[in-house]
């Protein structure tokens, strides 16, 4: 794969992927990952050699149809249990910083 | 020579017999293992957490037994639990800083089943962060060391569970296997591990890596012990919609039948051409072919089978796994549990999330999340993720054709013996290729077992034999595995785990 390939992994691509994945990567990490991901993607791209149109995709190892449970209330976590591991809460709700930035 | 009365040297099955006859109490057995952990775990680092309640739980089992209560076969036997499984009374980190100190509000179903059967959880075992790795070097809490050679990896991601049983810190452990995380550690530590049929054991409360591949299973030093533990943890769970709603036979009965079998006449053992590679370590191939000869001498028919698409398995796996992982790990968002890091000067919830994930995830986790995000992104989805899912179909077809010719399929469990800590850390693709033998079973959802097949002549380190069966055919693994284990031990004159250095 060369730099002219539209699928090439550049530092801009990695930086964009990191923002999609909500990870504030450092510049050093972006540089290192760009090289590593390029090598990995070059290698795994081999799958397209045999993935022809006549082969159906498999998403799940054992075929299953949809699974429903009875529509009756079950045992659930209490509010206290649900909040017990939260970094911050007000006793009944999870607490977070502003959802929207100032410019919005 | 080890003391035959040393409770830590016994198999779980032998220990269970002594417990039920009253020769030994669960408190004594539990204390012996806690003492062993205290003596060797600073060298091995198999445990991330040791239970403060183990002795109290053991005492309760002793009291119930004394009161004449009828208890499960393994009641009172200690067990180690991989840190990927939620435990209501112990921290559960999955080897990640992002979950440091987190105590879940519920037990994973396999853990709840252990407790209901009277087993005594000893603690939580080390693992690669979120089970991403083949060496435990990606644990945020430092690597586990292989009891056979402390400078070498114990395999991964379940290196902690495998090291715990092979260092006699626990007779049994739970693991999870997404691409070989039970079988490869078993191979390099001379222990036994089983990845059940996908859906055979509930995934409820197992922190998800790749939901279509993950499966919880037993880790032990003998085939029978894995079977006994599998009987405890297996079965349908309405809380896991992918768990199979069917009746399973007793795997312990299958192992016992295999251990006393008079011949393997009529059993067709398929050797997968692509997994009997000249590229594998010489001593691994040698021990594998010696084991095949033992099976032949005992009446088995060896057939060669072709699985032409296995050469695409690792590549397909490293697209499917990161894709599923990037989605599963989105839940670590600094809101409901785990770490929260606020960037300097504050920021929106999104900024906090990105700073938290930057600080809380290790390099391998970031690498796979970014790779998975790439594989799933618009424009590349069909070429990567879509193609990988097609390869999955082709691999399932290869297995289906192979099982027409053979009752079980076999290969080495891993291409090499344990490598040195640090050796492959800087080359992710080399680390990934280490899983070539184990990944196909996960892609197809079929069960696989790894058991020791001897020490490689060139380095004196354990090698592993892998047996695979069709989906739902787990009992075959235990039958054939127990037969092979007996034949090998008759030849050696001892068990393989008994040869591990004392560490004491």
B232-243 tens-digit pLDDT: 999 999 999 999
Is pLDDT of A1 > 50? Answer: no
What 3-state class would DSSP assign to B123?
A: strand
Q: What phi-psi label fits residue B279: left (phi over 0), alpha (psi between -120 and 50 degrees) or beta?
A: alpha
Q: B378-396, pLDDT tens digit by residue?
A: 888 888 999 999 999 999 9
Mean pLDDT over A8-17 rounds to 94
For residues B271 and B275, give the distance between their C-alpha atoms in angstroms, rounded to a whole number.
Answer: 8
Q: Quote the pLDDT of residue A63.
A: 86
User: In this structure, what DSSP letter does residue B249 have?
Assistant: P
Q: Are strands B172-176 and B216-220 parallel, antiparallel or unpaired?
A: antiparallel
Mean pLDDT over B400-429 rounds to 95
Mean pLDDT over A55-79 rounds to 89
Is pLDDT of B271 > 50? Answer: yes
User: In this structure, what DSSP letter does residue B448 have?
Assistant: E
Q: Judge whether B281 lies within some domain.
A: yes
Nearest CA in chain A to B213: A61
Q: Could you give the percent of chain B with pLDDT greater than 90?
A: 94
| Full-model pTM | 0.96
Q: Residues A92, B339: contact at Cβ < 8 Å?
A: no
Q: Quote the pLDDT of residue B3.
A: 63
Partner residue opposite B357 with nearest CB, options A7, A22, A77: A22
Q: How far is CA B9 from CA A15, B20, B270, B309, B345, in A?
A: 52, 18, 34, 42, 57
Which residues on chain B are in Cβ contact (under 8 Å) with A79? none
Q: How far is CA B237 from CA A69, A75, A90, B80, B203, in A?
A: 11, 15, 34, 22, 9
Q: Residues B413, B163: contact at Cβ < 8 Å?
A: no
Q: Are strands B301-305 and B448-455 parallel, antiparallel or unpaired?
A: unpaired
B2 pLDDT band (50/70/90 cuts)? low
Task: Describe the strand order of the beta sheet including B408-412 as a list of residue ranges.
Answer: B47-50, B120-125, B78-82, B172-176, B216-220, B192-195, B448-455, B462-468, B408-412, B268-272, B301-305
Q: Judge whether B92 lies within some domain.
A: yes
| Number of folded domains that form chain B | 1
Mean pLDDT over B187-196 rounds to 98
Determine whether domain A1-48 maps to CATH 1.10.20: yes
Is pLDDT of B1 > 60? Answer: no
What angle do helix axes B26-44 and B12-21 make, rounded to 10 degrees? 150
B181 catalytic? Reply is yes
A2 pLDDT band (50/70/90 cuts)? very low
Q: Judge whether B428 lies within some domain.
A: yes
Q: B339-361, pLDDT tens digit by residue?
A: 999 999 889 999 999 999 999 99
Q: How far is CA B70 from CA B19, B67, B73, B318, B425, in A?
A: 13, 9, 9, 47, 50
Is pLDDT of A99 > 90? Answer: no
Mean pLDDT over B119-124 rounds to 98
For residues B132 and B139, give the distance between their C-alpha atoms in angstroms, rounded to a whole number.
Answer: 9
Q: Do B348 and A87 touch (CB under 8 A)?
A: no
Nearest alpha carbon to residue A32 among B370, B315, B134: B370
Q: Which residues 45-84 of A are in CB contact (within 8 Å) with B? A: 45-52, 55-62, 64, 67, 69, 77, 81-82, 84
DSSP run (H or E) holding B228: helix B223-233
Q: Quote the pLDDT of residue B380.
A: 87
Q: Where along chain A do its domains lie?
A: 1-48
Q: Do B390 and A97 touch (CB under 8 A)?
A: no
Q: Quote the pLDDT of residue B370.
A: 97
Nearest alpha carbon to residue B304 among B264, B280, B279, B275: B275
Burial B257-269 (b: 16+ CB within 10 A, else e): ebbebeebeebbb
For residues B392 and A40, give the distance between their C-alpha atoms in angstroms, rounded to a whole number.
Answer: 19
Partner residue opposite A25 with nearest CB, options B333, B339, B358: B358
Is pLDDT of B59 > 70? Answer: yes
Q: Quote the pLDDT of residue B190.
A: 98
Q: Quote the pLDDT of residue A11.
A: 96
Q: Is A8 on the interface with B (CB under 8 A)?
A: no
Q: Quote the pLDDT of residue A4.
A: 43
Q: Residues B243, B234: contact at Cβ < 8 Å?
A: no
Q: How far is CA B219 from CA A59, B99, B165, B299, B308, in A?
A: 28, 24, 8, 29, 31
Q: How far is CA B345 from CA A23, A97, B478, in A?
A: 18, 12, 59
Q: B441-488, pLDDT tens digit by residue?
A: 999 999 999 999 999 999 999 999 999 999 999 999 999 999 999 999
For residues B161 and B204, give the distance between their C-alpha atoms in angstroms, rounded to a whole number.
Answer: 19
Q: Quote the pLDDT of residue B248.
A: 98
Is pLDDT of A6 > 80? Answer: no
Q: Quote the pLDDT of residue A56.
A: 95
| Catalytic residue selected from B96, B181, B191, B226 | B181
Arithmetic mean of pLDDT over chain B: 96
Partner residue opposite B312 with nearest CB, options A29, A46, A94: A46
Half-sphere exposure of B162 (CA within 13 A, CB side): 41
Phi–psi pair at B443, nearest 5 degrees: -65, -35
Which residues on chain A are in Cβ contact (under 8 Å) with B241? 64, 67
Q: Judge whether B178 lies within some domain.
A: yes
Mean pLDDT over B147-153 rounds to 98
Choice between B439 and A42, residue whose per-residue pLDDT is larger: B439
What 3-state class would DSSP assign to B80?
A: strand
What 3-state class would DSSP assign to B500?
A: coil
Nearest alpha carbon to residue B106 among A69, A82, A87, A79: A82
The domain containing residue B437 runs over which residues? 7-307+398-499
Output the domain CATH number for residue B452: 3.90.1300.10
Nearest alpha carbon to residue B500 among B161, B221, B284: B221
Q: Quote the pLDDT of residue B79.
A: 98
Q: Quote the pLDDT of residue A103.
A: 56
Q: Quote the pLDDT of residue B122.
A: 98
Partner residue opposite B315 with nearest CB, options A46, A94, A97: A46
Is pLDDT of A47 > 60? Answer: yes
Q: Quote the pLDDT of residue B422.
A: 94
Q: Residues A23, B366: contact at Cβ < 8 Å?
A: yes
A23 pLDDT band (50/70/90 cuts)? very high
DSSP run (H or E) holding B372: helix B363-376
Place of tokens 């894995």: B226
For residues B185 and B219, give the distance between their C-alpha atoms in angstroms, rounded to a whole number.
Answer: 10
Angle at B318 between CA B314 and CA B323, to 5 degrees: 150
Q: B274-306, pLDDT tens digit by residue?
A: 999 889 999 999 999 999 999 999 999 999 999
Mean pLDDT over B129-147 rounds to 97
Q: Residues B94, B84: contact at Cβ < 8 Å?
A: yes
Residues 6+ apart with CB under 8 A from B59: B26, B27
For residues B362 and A29, give the distance between their C-alpha atoms in angstroms, rounded to a whole number.
Answer: 11
Q: Quote the pLDDT of residue A3.
A: 41
What is the longest distance spanned by two Cα atoms in chain B? 74
Question: Min CA distance, B253 vs chain A (Å)?
Answer: 26
């Amino acid at each position: 794969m060369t730099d002219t390939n539209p699928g090439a992994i550049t530092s801009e691509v990695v930086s964009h992927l990191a923002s999609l994945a909500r990870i504030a990567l450092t510049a050093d990490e972006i540089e290192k990952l760009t090289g590593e991901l390029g090598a990995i993607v070059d290698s795994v791209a081999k799958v397209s050699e045999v993935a022809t149109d006549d082969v159906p995709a498999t998403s799940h190892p054992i075929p299953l149809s949809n699974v429903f449970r009875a529509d009756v209330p079950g045992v659930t976590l209490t509010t206290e249990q649900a909040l017990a591991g939260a970094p911050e809460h007000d006793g009944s709700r999870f607490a977070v910083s502003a959802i929207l930035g100032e410019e919005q | 020579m080890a003391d035959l009365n040393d409770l830590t040297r016994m198999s779980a099955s032998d220990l269970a017999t002594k417990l039920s006859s009253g020769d030994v109490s669960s408190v004594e057995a539990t204390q012996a293992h806690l003492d062993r952990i205290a003596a060797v775990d600073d060298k091995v680092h198999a445990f991330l957490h040791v239970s403060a309640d183990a002795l109290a739980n053991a005492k309760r089992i002793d009291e119930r037994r004394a009161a004449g209560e009828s208890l499960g076969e393994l009641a009172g036997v200690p067990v180690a639990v991989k840190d990927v499984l939620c435990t209501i009374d112990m921290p559960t980190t999955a080897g990640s800083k992002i979950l440091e100190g987190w105590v879940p509000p519920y037990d994973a179903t396999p853990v709840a089943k252990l407790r209901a059967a009277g087993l005594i959880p000893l603690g939580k075992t080390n693992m690669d962060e979120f089970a991403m790795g083949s060496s435990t070097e990606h644990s945020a809490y430092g690597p586990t060391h292989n009891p056979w050679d402390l400078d070498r990896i114990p395999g991964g991601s379940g290196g902690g569970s495998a090291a715990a049983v092979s260092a006699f810190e626990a007779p049994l452990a739970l693991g999870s296997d997404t691409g070989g995380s039970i079988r490869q550690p078993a191979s390099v530590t001379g222990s036994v591990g089983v990845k059940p049929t996908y859906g055979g054991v509930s995934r409820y409360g197992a922190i998800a890596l790749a939901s279509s591949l993950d499966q919880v299973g037993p880790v032990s030093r003998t085939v029978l012990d894995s079977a006994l533990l599998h009987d405890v943890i297996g079965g349908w769970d309405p809380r896991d919609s992918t768990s199979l709603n069917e009746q399973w036979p007793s795997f312990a009965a299958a192992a016992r039948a295999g251990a006393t079998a008079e011949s393997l006449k009529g059993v067709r053992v398929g050797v997968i051409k692509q997994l009997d590679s000249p590229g594998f370590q010489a001593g691994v191939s040698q021990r594998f072919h010696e084991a095949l000869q033992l099976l032949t001498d005992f009446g088995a028919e060896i057939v060669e089978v072709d699985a032409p698409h296995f050469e695409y398995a690792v590549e397909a796996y490293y697209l499917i796994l990161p894709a599923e992982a990037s989605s599963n790990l989105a839940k670590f968002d600094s809101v409901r549990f785990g770490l929260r890091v606020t960037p300097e000067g504050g920021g929106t919830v999104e900024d906090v999330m990105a700073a938290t994930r930057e600080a809380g995830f290790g390099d391998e986790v970031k690498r796979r999340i970014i790779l998975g995000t790439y594989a799933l992104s618009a424009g590349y989805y069909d070429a990567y993720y879509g193609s990988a899912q097609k390869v999955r179909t082709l691999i399932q077809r290869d297995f289906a054709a192979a099982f027409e010719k053979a009752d079980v399929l076999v290969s080495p469990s891993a291409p090499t013996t344990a490598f040195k800590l640090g050796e492959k850390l800087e080359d992710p693709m080399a680390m990934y290729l280490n899983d070539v033998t184990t990944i196909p079973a996960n892609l197809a959802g079929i069960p696989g077992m790894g058991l020791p097949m001897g020490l490689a002549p060139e380095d004196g380190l354990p090698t592993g034999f892998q047996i695979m069966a069709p989906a739902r055919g787990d009992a075959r693994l235990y039958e054939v595995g127990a037969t092979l284990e007996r034949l090998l031990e008759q030849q050696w004159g001892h068990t393989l785990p008994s040869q591990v250095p004392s560490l004491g």
